[in-house]
């Protein structure tokens, strides 16, 4: 029971103190789960993020469910999920109740304007940290570059790029295994 509460508490803190949505939560989850608590290896976390991004729904919630399940099964997934969404749910309920009274308060508007650059920095740091755990192969560099160019310059939808990269990775991995099996 203690391990479920610990997982709940980790994700509750992440959910309570992260502004900016799922991608802003990823580096905080990584810091807590991978670096601070050493519950998951960096490469495993990258796999969790890759799968979480590929599925429908918020990436942080998907990552939380995968992480909780990997660690402690269904009960871990539920503990992490409740921990992640409960702070947002409570804040949304309070904001909905008082929205008309606070929407024009300049301090609130300035707060959110100040948070935006921090969110960009968090997402950038997450990319840098996740990038360190990716194998440094020509294929991976090619795929990262192709994905970046496809999304930024060719304006191809990220979902299409993720699917194409996944399919390419399947073929590449199969071909490499066949090469290795043929050499053995």
Q: Return all residues near 29 (Cβ < 8 A) that are at least 6 apart.
A: 11, 14, 60, 63, 64, 67
What lies within 8 Å, CB to CB, of 2 at 6+ separation is: none
Largest CA distance in the chain: 72
69 and 145 in a single domain? The answer is no
Please state the pTM of the whole predicted model: 0.62
Instruction: Please name which of 90, 83, 95 lies closest in space to residue 7, comparing C-alpha atoms.
Output: 83
Same domain, 26 and 74: yes
Highest mean pLDDT among 46-60, 88-102, 122-136, 163-177: 163-177
82 with 61, same domain: the answer is yes
Q: How many CB atoms lie within 10 A of CB 14?
A: 23
**Number of domain units in the chain:** 2
Instruction: State both tokens at 107.
Output: 């301090």
pLDDT at 154 over 90: yes
Domain that holds residue 159: 135-184
28: nearest Cα among 134, 132, 131, 119: 119
Dump pLDDT digits (tens) for 54-81: 788 888 899 999 999 999 999 999 999 9
Q: Which of 133, 166, 2, 4 is nearest to 69 (CA)?
A: 4
């Amino acid at each position: 029971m203690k391990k479920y509460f610990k997982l709940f508490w980790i994700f509750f803190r992440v959910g309570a103190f992260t502004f900016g949505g799922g991608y802003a939560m990823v580096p905080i989850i990584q810091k807590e789960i991978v670096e601070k608590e050493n519950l998951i290896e960096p490469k495993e976390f990258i796999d969790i993020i890759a799968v979480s991004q590929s599925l429908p729904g918020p990436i942080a919630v998907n990552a939380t469910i995968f992480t909780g399940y990997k660690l402690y099964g269904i009960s871990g997934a539920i503990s992490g999920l409740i921990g992640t969404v409960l702070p947002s749910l409570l804040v949304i309920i309070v904001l909905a109740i008082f929205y008309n009274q606070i929407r024009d308060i300049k301090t609130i508007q300035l707060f959110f304007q100040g948070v935006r650059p921090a969110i960009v920095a968090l997402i950038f740091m997450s990319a840098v940290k996740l990038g360190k755990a990716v194998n440094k192969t020509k294929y991976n560099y090619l795929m990262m570059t192709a994905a970046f160019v496809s999304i930024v310059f060719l304006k191809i939808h990220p979902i299409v790029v993720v699917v194409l990269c996944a399919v390419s990775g399947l073929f590449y991995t199969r071909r490499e295994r066949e090469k290795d099996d043929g050499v053995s």
